[in-house]
Amino acid sequence: MLTIMLVLFFALLLLLGSGVWIAFALLGLGWLGLSQFTSIPVGDMMASDIWSASYSWELTALPLFIWMGEILFRSRLAEDMFTGLAPWMQRVPGRLLHTNVIGCGLFASVSGSSAATCATMGKMTIPELTRRGYDEKLVLGTLAGSATLGLLIPPSIILIVFAVATDQSIARLFLAGVFPGLMLIGLFAAYIMIWAWLNPSRVPPAEDRLPIMERLWRSRRLLPMLLLIVGVIGSIYAGIASPTEAAAVGVVLSLALAYFSGTLNRTNFEEGLLGTVKTSCMIAFILAGASFLTAAMGFTRMPAELASWITGMELSPIMLLVALTLFFIVLGCFLDGISVVVLTTSIMLPMVEAAGFNLIWFGIYLVIVVEMSQITPPVGFNLFVLQGLTGKNLLRIAWAALPFFLLMLVGIVLITVFPDIVTYLPEAMANRR
């Protein structure tokens, strides 16, 4: 087994290091494993496995949610959110810095993408908060950290990928992500308040307090987003629609919102469709390669052998979790989140199941760790987005995001000690049925 592992590991490093697309690297690794270490006919296996991975009905939700995010990315939604939230933040310690956290949480609940959340909110809040004199480091840090919520709060693209790769329920994973997402929002907001109490001179003075009716009037601009959230997530939880049907509802509502806000035109529509096709094809291609690699690894018996080896070490579940966390963080420094999920699923699941972890819980844990990798150099996607928006040094942005990286680590500890944070809603849905 050690020989197989070393050969495949160095082959993967060679493929990824030479700039080969992730999908081709996965296919090449699977081909190498089958052709060199088994007697299975590679061509037949590759054709059948890629086909079986490509016609899954669950995958239909993926391009629909991506399209919804593309539509909203080109709409006025972020501007409306800032206008609706700002009047309520003036008396909260940290003031308008909370608009980054809550705004990203709201946008994450309708976009499903960390990068889209970061780019959309950043275009709106960075110039505005900088103009008002807020601490630049905290502005960048709150945005980098909070934008990762796009991976966790449903509808999450990466949760769909995990569900397809592990044959889990998309609806249950979506529900499992709700409370952990709210938990992280609470941790981020608490950190901002504590920082503001400790550094009162670095927070701009509050603006004139608006009358309650004026604040309520400005908050009307939050209604379209709340309608979208209820339409997508509410329809799943109420049992009215499956995740795929809810994705279609989200697309229709997003088009309607863009139309009535005056941002839906032929150019935006075509750009949104093109962006959806590019992103969907990339993810589908990676999933097909990962499916073939998973099958190939199964025939080499490497996952089972690895799981037996780790089981033989008699690591406690907590120590296994510590080891996996370090492994995923390091891997996430060099690969994007979806690639981390599809590369490791086939190898990790046997040992995770042997350790007694609930796979729904493990999916949320994995997504939070992947969130952490989004703000770690050298391949932290949110860092790249913020660098493009601000022109700041990448390491400077990563340093600003460090407290939020540590807060996510606290989040992992909390869901480990209190697993009901993850499992309560999925179990409640199962009991209702």
Instruction: Compute the distance between CA of residue 161 and CA of residue 159 in angstroms, rounded to an integer.
Output: 5
Stretch 199-208: mean pLDDT, rounded?
Answer: 76
Instruction: Compute the distance between CA of residue 332 and CA of residue 344 in angstroms, rounded to an integer.
Output: 11
**Per-residue pLDDT at 38:** 78
Stretch 118-129: mean pLDDT, rounded?
Answer: 77
pLDDT tens, 315-338? 788 888 888 888 888 777 666 677
Question: In what helix (H) or strand (E) does residue 237 lie, and over which residues does it extend?
Answer: helix 235-237
pLDDT tier at 312, thresholds 50, 70, 90: low
Confidence check: pLDDT of 342 > 80: no
**Per-residue pLDDT at 379:** 61
Q: Which of 361, 283, 356 is nearest to 54 (CA)?
A: 283
Confidence check: pLDDT of 373 > 70: yes
Cα of first residue to Cα of last residue in the chain, in angstroms, is 44
Alpha-carbon Rg of the chain, whole angstroms? 22
Instruction: Compute the distance between CA of residue 247 and CA of residue 235 in angstroms, rounded to an integer.
Output: 10
**Per-residue pLDDT at 421:** 94
Stretch 150-157: mean pLDDT, rounded?
Answer: 81
Name the token pair of 286. Answer: 């990676």
Poorest-pLDDT segment among 96-100, 211-215, 408-412? 211-215
**Per-residue pLDDT at 334:** 61
Confidence check: pLDDT of 145 > 80: yes
Q: Whole-number mean pLDDT of the chain?
A: 80
Instruction: Compute the distance between CA of residue 280 and CA of residue 59 in angstroms, rounded to an integer.
Output: 10
**Per-residue pLDDT at 10:** 79
Confidence check: pLDDT of 62 > 80: no
**Per-residue pLDDT at 361:** 94
pLDDT tier at 96, thresholds 50, 70, 90: confident
Question: What are phi and psi for residue 207, nearest 5 degrees?
Answer: -80, 170
Stretch 348-375: mean pLDDT, rounded?
Answer: 86
Instruction: Compute the distance between CA of residue 128 and CA of residue 134 in angstroms, rounded to an integer.
Output: 9
Instruction: Compute the distance between CA of residue 225 and CA of residue 82 in angstroms, rounded to an integer.
Output: 12
pLDDT tens, 12-52? 778 767 777 777 887 888 888 888 877 778 887 888 877 87
Stretch 268-283: mean pLDDT, rounded?
Answer: 83
Task: Show the CA angle centred on residue 59, arms to residues 56 and 62, nearest 5°.
Answer: 175
Percent of the chain with pLDDT over 90: 13
Stretch 193-199: mean pLDDT, rounded?
Answer: 90
**Per-residue pLDDT at 112:** 66
Q: Do residues 413 and 321 lie in contact, with contact meaning Cβ atoms separated by under 8 Å? A: no
Q: Do residues 339 and 286 lie in contact, with contact meaning Cβ atoms separated by under 8 Å? A: yes
Confidence check: pLDDT of 57 > 80: no
Length of the chain: 433
Stronger pLDDT, 116 or 361, i.e. the higher one: 361
**Per-residue pLDDT at 310:** 63
Confidence check: pLDDT of 65 > 80: no
Confidence check: pLDDT of 410 > 90: yes
Q: Do residues 107 and 150 lie in contact, with contact meaning Cβ atoms separated by under 8 Å? A: yes
Instruction: Compute the distance between CA of residue 41 and CA of residue 165 in angstroms, rounded to an integer.
Output: 23
Provide the b/e sequence for 269-280 (b: ≥16 CB within 10 Å): beebeebbeebb
